[in-house]
Structure 1
Amino acid sequence: MIRLLTAAAAFILLALPIRAEVEIQEVTSPGGIKAWLVEEHSIPFTALEVSFKGGASLEATDKRGATNLMMALLEEGTGDLDSRAFSAAREALALETGFDASDDSVSVSARFLTENRDDAIALLRGAVIAPNFDQQAVDRVRGQVLSNLRSDDQDPGELASRRFDELAFPGHPYATSRDGTAETVNALTRDDLFTAKDAAMALDRVYVGAVGDITAEELGLLLDRLLGDLPATGAPMPDHVEFAAAGGTEVVPFDTPQSVAIFGHAGIQRDDDDFFAAFVMNRILGAGGFASRLTEEVREKRGLTYGIGTYLVAKDHGEMVLGQFASSNERIAEAIEVVQAEWARMAENGVTAKELEDAVTYLTGAYPLRFDGNGPIANILVGMQMQGLGLDYIATRNDRIRAVTQDDIARVAAELLDPEALLFVIAGQPEGL
């Protein structure tokens, strides 16, 4: 049966991208749960993605890590099934599940065969509605989290990222890691995990995407069975936070021959009218791999790093332009100067016609490749809903990319990019800083 599931998934990977368009249906269950559905009946297989807004940002400071630990424990047993029995039941049903926590959401994903749908959803419902949080499992998974935290303490990239977040978002949940600290994770109790679950997994913040061999009526009934007994409301959302750090450099001492730099400043919201212009601009500046200016100037021309990248980070409650690279201790100061110079050049001069043409060609050509199977499409459907994008977004997205002009990028770059505001946090032993 597991081999059948694998074969079905492989077939869908080949079948779905050749369709002319993704036809999305809006579904409302009898109990009022909304979802987006793409029906695909050629293979008896369905992918389900369920996300809840809020995530680890809902936690109190002294409970950091509760949501992360809670989500890791959902597959550790329900009812009379302990961890091993739950895993065995899932394998017998050829059910694939995933549970994840991020700053702004928690998510549950499932992949199941049509013939096993009812039993698969019954098992998944137990994990979502009534997890055991058995103390033995709590202690074991807590130990894994603590081991990861100790490993992070020896990772210069993690050290730089932690300090950057502290400076960027002081007093906000974004300022600290969703994994928590050794102190907060050690102090978490079973009651804290149930509290975290009720805070994060509630019907007033749920978004659902489904793709595969299921009708709208079947999906509605499935959702009420799976999610209908969740709390009606969860914890209040945190306030929006402005990027607070001033420009400059800060060093986190760490004994390593190669320093890691995290850099950035205030960003742009996802629903801003200029987001697409900023998105194309960032592709040219630093997100385009070997096609980006920063890779060309910092790596190719000067050999200062193996890789550098920038990102538009539009979180639900704060936004920033973020970048990262590593360089030898004796040359990282030079690399920082080059980054600042390229930041200023983009802000002052925008992009060339050729750069814009190449970026648009890549971004529009690569977009259809994201739709490479039921699971990825279900995930995209949820992301579209959570970002407030319309049903027509898939059909119109590339047109919005093509509509970006050189003048748009020049204006947005001048407004958004500020080399003097760039904060660089460097973990290592950098010379000359």
Structure 2
Amino acid sequence: MRRSASVYWNGIFFGPRAVLPVLGRILLLVLMSLSLVSPAAAQSQTTRITRVVSPGGIEAWLVRDTTLPLIAMEFAFRGGAAQDPPATPGVASLTASLLDEGAGDLDAAAFQRKVADLAMEISFDANRDELRGSLRTLGENRDAAFDLLRLAVTAPRFDEEAVERIRAAQLASLRRRSTDPNSLASERWFALAFPDHAYGRPVDGTLASVPTITQADLQTFTRNTLARDTLKVAVVGDIGPEELGRELDRAFGALPAKATLRPVADVAPKGIGTVDVIPLNIPQSVVLMGTTGLERKDDDFIPAYVLNHILGGSAFSSRLFKEVREARGLAYSVYSYQVALEHVGLWFAGTATKNERAGDSIRIIGDEFRKILDEGPTQTELDEAKSYLTGSYALRFDTSSKIAGQLLQIQIDDLGIDYIDRRNALIEAVTLDDLRRAAHRLTEAAKALTVVVGRPAGLSGG
């Protein structure tokens, strides 16, 4: 349940002399977060990535940019919701939501007031494999901002008032999602695919589990997970390597040296070839089809990535779009995408269509999966995919926050500090033979575990 702490400044009273300076700094921070040089120039800046190691041994990747007095940092600790106690899903998510709700000698209100005074942003989030954080600050407030970050990760308070308030918000979100067809489809798919694995548990917990999470659960998760040995950091902005080294030690130096993580096994999805229907009185059925994919570290991941783009990764030129929407008018949107978790690779397709056409949509999507795996794409499709994927890559680097996010993900995926320079060449090098080889390895992907939410005519399952 991601929240940006910066939103809370609206609820804090400032005297007349304080309002304009604070609002001005916040506006500047927002503008700088949204503005950078052109995407192509921003991407070229990332070739100047510096590997920084602090005096205390904490590593970060830095792209120094003095164009604007802004520092953007993204960081992650390995061990997200997969580290939740099996009987209590939602601990990681609730912990992440509470890290900026009071720390050290600052209760929640005082912490948020400090964030607002500094016109900074700080937020935390948990996914299945990591707990992630984000920091935005003006250069002039750098020391104070990193000190607040230090408090958040090393001395969160988990006060009763804050815990109950955020718990209530998490429960409200879960209740809303209990009638949201997309959320229902996703959570059911993972529960069926991984019934005896951490990935089968909902990241944000359940209406039954979240009320049982204790302060001790939060403290134990924090103590076991937030440690220096699994920390990855990416920084973009107006700060030099030596200064960054000092700030890294300021923020993270007091964390434990090593995390205490329970083992998470590699896994393959179960239930492939079956259909599960969740009845819901809505005019359209939401369809989610998932199957086996390739892990990010696999040598054939890039060919599989190109293959997916041709199948359903392109919004308007993919095979699924042409067959499901253009040729038959079954749905407004249809798509496919890869998911590379730490312990499994997955391949998904999805759409929303009239209840009476859900069966047809599932059949056509399955047919297109089988066709591209059996026959492969054409040279024209490959050339068009390469052109789009290489040409659009620069759009991932048009803000400092996006650059930091890309650098962090590259570290998590262990792709190497020169990956940005190599990535387009890897795409360009893909041949039809590479696609056929990847397709052959993905033969089992012709079958899927399908979850349908709605009142699909003629379909039953579960």
The interval holding the TM-score normalised by the smaller chain is over 0.9
Pick closer, same or farther for the CA change 1:182–1:11 going to 2, 3 Å.
Answer: closer
Residue 422 of structure 1 pairs with residue 448 of structure 2: yes
Please give the residue correspondences for 1:347-358 in structure 2 after superposition, counting only pairs within 5 Å: 347-358=373-384
Give the conservation status (yes or no) of the 8 Å contact 1:243–1:319. Answer: no
In the alignment, residue 345 of structure 2 is paired with which amino acid?
E
Partner of 2:233: 208
Question: Are residues 1:149 and 2:148 paired?
Answer: no
1:419: Cα distance to partner? 5.9
TM-score, normalised by the number of residues in structure 2: 0.90
1:83 partner letter: A
- Please identify, of 356-365 and 114-123, the stretch whose mean Cα deviation from structure 2 is larger: 114-123
Q: Per-residue deviation at 1:417?
A: 4.0
Which whole-Å CA distance do the structure 2 matches of 1:18 and 1:207 have between them?
Answer: 22
Matching residue's letter, 1:118 = D
Q: Which residue of 1 aligns with 2:437?
A: 411
Q: Which stretches in structure 2 are left out of the alignment for 5+ residues?
A: 1-24
Whole-Å Cα distance in 1 between the matches of residues 444 and 89 of structure 2?
A: 33
Distance 1:140 1:257, change over 3 A: same
159-168 or 343-352: bigger deviation: 159-168
The aligned residue for residue 292 of structure 1 is 318
Give the alignment partner of residue 25 of structure 1, picking from 35, 40, 50: 50
Match of 1:57, as an amino acid? A
1:8 to 26, 29, 32: 32
Of 36, 57, 62, the match for 2:61 = 36
- 1:224 is matched with which residue: 238, 243, 249? 249
Aligned to 2:5: none
Instruction: State whether residues 89 and 205 of structure 2, in contact with CA within 8 Å, keep that contact through their aligned partners in structure 1.
Output: yes
Q: Is the 8 A contact 2:292 2:444 kept in 1?
A: no
SS at match of 2:296: coil
Given the alignment of the two structures, is residue 171 of structure 1 paired with residue 188 of structure 2, yes or no? no
- 1:111 counterpart residue number: 136
Q: Deviations over 1:116-145 (max 9, x none)?
A: 111111122111111111101111110111
Match of 2:288 among 253, 262, 265: 262
Helix, strand or coil for the counterpart of 2:209?
A: helix
> 1:135 aligns to what?
160
Q: CA RMSD in A?
A: 1.6
Distance (whole Å) between structure 2 residues aligned to residue 20 and residue 62 of structure 1 = 47
Q: Which amino acid is the alignment partner of residue 12 of structure 1?
A: L
Partners of 2:278 and 2:31 in 1: how far apart?
49
Q: 2:366, 2:447 within 8 Å by CA — same for their partners in 1?
A: no
What is the SS of the residue equivalent to 2:415? coil
AA partner of residue 217 (structure 1): E
Q: Relative to structure 2, which stretch is displaced further, 353-362 or 240-249?
A: 240-249
What percent identity do the matched residue pairs reach? 43
TM-score after normalising by structure 1: 0.96
| 1:253-281 residue CA offsets vs partner (Å, 9 max, x unmatched) | 22222111110211101111111110001
Regions of 4+ moved over 4 Å: 13-16
Tell me if structure 2 keeps the 8 A contact 1:47–1:374. yes
TM-aligned CA distance change 1:420 to 1:376, over 3 Å: closer
Code of the residue aligned with 2:188 in structure 1: it is R
Distance 1:90 1:359 in 2: 44
Contact 1:27 1:37 in 2 (8 A): yes
Q: CA deviation at 1:248?
A: 2.5
Q: Does 1:94 align with 2:94?
A: no
Distance 1:13 1:150, change over 3 A: farther
The reply to whether residue 278 of structure 1 matches residue 304 of structure 2 is yes
Name the CA distance, whole Å, in 2 between partners of 1:260 and 1:89: 44
Q: Which residue of 2 aligns with 1:52?
A: 77
| Secondary structure of the structure 2 residue equivalent to 1:289 | coil
